[in-house]
Structure 1
Amino acid sequence: MKSINLSKERIINNVVELSTDKIISNPNQPRSDYSDDISQLAQSIAQNGILQPISVRKKGSKYELITGERRLRAAKYCGFPVVPCIIHEVSDRHSAILALVENIQRQELSFFDEASAIEKLITLYGMTQEVAASKLGRAQSTIANKLRLLRLTEKERFLITQYSLTERHARALLRLGSVEDRLFMLDKIIKNNLNVERSERLIDEYIGSNKDKMSYKKRSLVFQNVKLFVNTINKAVDTMKAAGISADSSKIQNDDFLEYRIRIPVQKKS
C-alpha cells in the first residue's frame, strides 16, 4: 500500500481567533432589519461555541466581515472577546458578492432585502438574471418575480413589513397599477387582517369594479363625441341658412341608432 506524504498537503483557510473589536461590518451587507431576536442563537453559541467560523478579510488595521453577521452579533451578546474566523484574500467586488450570495442562500433576509440583494448583484456587479439565478441555485423566473417586488414604494414595503404580511400579499398588490390603489387596498387588508386568499379575492373584485367604471367612462366619452358631431351638423345648417340657403335638418330616433337628415335645395339652371 502506497503511503501518503502528509507534508505535501496544502493547508488552506486556517481558522484564527480575532478580537470582536477588530471586526468591522461589511458595507455591502444586504440585511437592513436587525430587529429579530438573536437570544436563541446566542444561547446556542454560549453552550456550544461558534461551530462555523466567521469569514473576514483584512482591511487596514481591522478585519472586514464577509459573512456571519448574526453569529458575530450573538457572540458579542454573549460577551465573547474573540471569535473564530477564516481570513480570505478577496477583492471589494468579490467580498460584496460573497456577502450577498451567502445571505440569500441562508434565507436570513426578508423578501424585500432578498430582492434588493439580487438587484444589487445584477446592477452593481454586472450579472444577468441568468447568472444570478445560477449562483443562487434558483430558476430565472423566481429571480424575475423577486425583482418585481421592488416596484412597490418604500411606504408600501414598510407597511407590508410592519404588519407581517407575506410575499404573496405583496405579489397580489402588484396586480394594481397605481400606488393610490395599492395603498387603498393595503389599508383594507391590514384593517381587516385578511389572509392571502381573502386579499386576492378583494383585489379581484376591486379590479373588476374598476373595469366596469372604465367601460362606463368610455361610453360616456363616446356620447360626448356624438353630441359634438350633432352640434357640428346643426352649426353647418345654421351657417347655410345665414348665407341664404334654405337648408333644414331633421332627427330620427331609432332603437339602435340616431339618424340625421339634412335637406339642401338644388339650384336650378336658368
Structure 2
Amino acid sequence: MESSEVVKIRVENIYPHPDNPRKDLGDVTELAESMKKHGVMQNLTVIPASALTADPEDQPDADKVSVISDFHALIGHRRLEAAKLAGLVEVPCQIRSKISRKEQVGIMLLENIQREDLTIQEQAQGFQMMLDLGDTEDQIAEKTGFSKSTVRHRLNIAKLDQEKLKEKQQDDAFQLTLKDLYELEKIKDVEMRNEILDKASSSRDIVSRVQNEITNAKKKENAKKLKAKLKKMGVEKAPEQYSQQMYNGKWKTVIEINLTDDVPDEIELPEQKGQMYWYETWRDLRIVTKAPKEKKKPTKEELAKKEQDRKSKEVKEILKGSAARRKDFISGIISGKIPALKDENVAREKIWEALVLIGYGLYGSIARDFFLEGDEWKYSEEERKQATETFQGLSITHQMLVFLHGSMNTVGETYDYSGRYAKEKADKLLKGYEALELFGWFFEMDEEKRVLDGTSELFAPAEEK
C-alpha cells in the first residue's frame, strides 16, 4: 500500500534497507552537485522502520505514518546518499507499507535490474535473498523476467565464497568471466568450487582445474566400482607396508587398471599363488601379490642399489602419471573442453622452442600414436589411416600440441643409470610443460615438479666434483 501523496521526510530519519541488493552505490558526487542546484527531481520510496520485522497485516497504514518516524529506503538509495552529501535536510518521499520482507527484496531487486544497475554478483545475492525468503526458482524468474536457467546460474554464483569472488573480479590480470563461473557449476561440491576459485591464477586456470577435477571425480567413482567387484572376487586391500615396499622387489604387480577408463563388466585376473591385493594410486588401481622371497641375504651394496632402484621406479611412475594427465589435457584442448587461446602465436613459438630443444623428428607415427592406444602394429591399415586423417584435420596449433606430447614421451626418465638427476632430459620436459602452461596446465602434485627441477629426494646424491 502506498501513501496517496508525496511527503517531505528528514534525511536523518531515513536509513538504507539492510537487504538492498546493490552493495556498491558508486560515485554520487555528480548527483549531489545536481541536487544542490535543482533539488531532488525524483522522489524516494520508503517504508516504516517497523515494516522490516512486522507482518504486512501488523504494519501501519502508509497515510497514517508520522513523517517524523524512522524509515528505510526501498527505492532511491543513491538519491539518499547524494542528498546526504549535498547537505539536504529533507527529501520528497512516497511511503509504502503493508508489504512483506520478501516483497521488499523483490521490489528493490526488480528496480535495480530494470535500471541495469546491479553487478552479476549483486544479482546473485539478490536472487539468493528471494530464495531464502520463500520464493521458488520459477517465482524468481517470473518476478524478475530472467529465464529459469539464468536464475539457476545466478543462484550457483551466490553459493561461492563472495569475498574470494570479489577479489578475483577486481583482479584485472585474472580476467574472470561469466563463462568461468558457469564452468565451476560442473563441479557438484560447492567447497571444491571455492577451492578451485581460490587456487586458480587466471580465467584459463579455472577451466583447466575444473576439467582436472571432473577427471578426478570419474576416477574416484570408477575406483569405488572396481573395489566392489574385486571384493566379490576375494581381492583385499593392500596392507599399509605396501606403499613403502612397492618398488623394492617384495611385491609383484599382476595388472594395472586405468581409472579414467570405463569400468569393465568383468575383471579378468591371471591365476596367482597366494592372496591378491588392490592398491589405489592417483592414476590406476593396481592388483598386486607378494613376490617370492629371495634365498640369499643381499649385501650392503646390493641393498643400497635396490633402494635406489625403488626410488627411480617411483620417479618413473610420477613421470608416467604426468604424461597421462598431459595427454588428457591436450585432448581437452583439441575437443574444445578447454577454450582456445585468443592469440596462439606466442603459444606456437613456445611449442616450437620445446620441439627444437627435444630434437626428435616430427614423424607420422607420433601423430598416429596420440589417437591409437598401444603399439601401432596391432592396428589395421584402415585404423592407422583413420588416425592420420584425424590428425590432418586438426588446426596447426593442435597438430603442434600432438607432436609436443609425442616428443616429450621420447625424452625418457629424469635420472641416469645411477639414479642421479639428469638435468638435460629434465630441461626438455620442463620446456614442454612451460608451453602447456599458456593453455592452463598445472602440476597437480608438488612431487611432479620436483622430479623435473631436481629437488626431489628420490634422486641419488650428485657426484662430488
Common topology (TM > 0.5)? yes
> Are the aligned partners of 1:56 and 1:63 in contact in 2 as well (CA < 8 Å)?
yes
- Give the distance between the partners of 1:168 and 1:100, measured in 2 at CA: 23
Instruction: Specify the alignment match of 1:54 in structure 2.
Output: 44
Of 162, 166, 169, the match for 1:161? 166
Cα offset for 1:123? 4.0
Give the CA deviation at 1:80.
Answer: 1.7
Distance in 1 of aligned mates of 2:186 and 2:5: 51
Residue matched to 2:137: 129
Partner of 2:125: 116
1:258 to 2:266 alignment: no
CA 1:71–1:128 in structure 2 vs 1: closer, same or farther (change >3 Å)?
same
Instruction: Determine helix, strand or coil for the equivalent of 2:20.
Output: coil
- Give the equivalent residue in structure 2 for 1:185: 196
- Superposed CA RMSD in Å reads 3.8
Alignment-derived partner of residue 149 in structure 2 = 141
The ranges of structure 1 where at least 4 consecutive aligned residues each deviate by more than 6 angstroms after the TM superposition are none
Q: Deviations over 1:132-184 (max 9, x none)?
A: 222212222222222222332xxx22111123144433322232234554344
Amino acid aligned to 2:197? L
Which residue is 1:78 aligned to?
Answer: 86
Distance 1:168 1:73 in 2: 34
Q: Distance in 2 between matches of 1:111 and 1:139?
A: 15
Match of 1:91 in 2: 99
Q: Of the candidates 202, 220, 223, which is equivalent to residue 208 of structure 2? A: 202
Local SS of the residue matching 1:141: helix
Q: Secondary structure at the residue paired with 1:18?
A: strand
Aligned position for 1:16: 7
Bigger CA radius of gyration: 1
Counterpart Cα distance in 1 of 2:15 and 2:77: 10
Match of 2:27 in 1: 37
2:46 aligned counterpart, secondary structure: strand
* Unaligned segments of structure 1, at least 5 residues: 1-11, 232-252, 262-270
**Pick aligned residue for 1:105 from 114, 123, 127:** 114
Which of the residues 25, 33, 49 maps onto 2:16? 25
* 1:82 Cα offset (Å): 1.8
Aligned with 1:76: secondary structure?
helix
Question: Structure 1 residues 96 and 217, CA, compared in 2 at 3 Å: closer, same or farther?
Answer: closer
Distance in structure 2 (CA, Å) of the matches to 1:45 and 1:202: 51
- Amino acid aligned to 1:42: A
Given that residues 13 and 88 in structure 1 are in contact (C-alpha distance below 8 angstroms), is that contact kept between their aligned partners in structure 2? no
Task: Give the Cα–Cα distance (whole angstroms) in 2 for the partners of residues 199 and 44 of structure 1.
Answer: 46
Q: 1:22 to 1:224 in 2, by over 3 A?
A: same
Q: Which amino acid aligns with 1:186?
A: L
Aligned residues: 218
What is the CA–CA distance in structure 2 between the aligned matches of 1:180 and 1:96, rounded to whole Å? 28
Moved more, 209-218 or 55-64: 209-218
Kept in 2, the 8 Å contact 1:53–1:86? The answer is yes
Equivalent residue letter for 1:29: N
1-side partners of 2:17 and 2:217: how far apart?
Answer: 48
Could you say if the C-alpha distance between residues 44 and 217 of structure 1 is closer, same or farther in structure 2, counting changes exceeding 3 Å?
Answer: farther
CA distance in 2, matches of 1:201, 1:95: 38
Counterpart code for 1:177: K
Give 1:243's aligned residue: none
Report the Cα distance in structure 2 between the residues aligned to 1:173 and 1:112, rounded to whole angstroms.
Answer: 15
Looking at structure 1, the residues matched to 226 and 140 of structure 2 have their Cα atoms a distance apart, in angstroms, of 49
Change over 3 Å in CA distance of 1:223–1:65 after alignment to 2: closer
Alignment CA distance shift 1:139-1:229 (3 Å): closer
Task: State the one-letter code of the partner of 1:38.
Answer: V
Runs of at least 5 residues in structure 2 that lack an aligned partner in the other structure:
50-65, 170-175, 238-253, 256-267, 274-465
C-alpha spacing 1:134/1:220, structure 2 compared with 1 (3 Å) = closer
For 1:201 and 1:96, how far apart are their aligned partners in 2? 34
Amino acid of the structure 2 residue aligned with 1:172: E
Q: Helix, strand or coil for the counterpart of 1:85?
A: strand
Residues 259/70 of structure 1: CA separation in 2 closer, same or farther (3 Å cut): same
Q: Give me the whole-angstrom Cα distance separating, in 1, the residues matched to 2:99 and 2:229.
A: 67
CA contact (8 A) 2:196 2:210 kept: no
- Rounded to whole Å, the distance in 2 between the matches of 1:209 and 1:51 is 58
Match of 2:185 in 1: 174
User: What is the identity, as a one-letter code, of the residue corresponding to 2:77?
Assistant: E
In structure 1, how many angstroms separate the alpha carbons of the residues matched to 2:48 and 2:25? 28
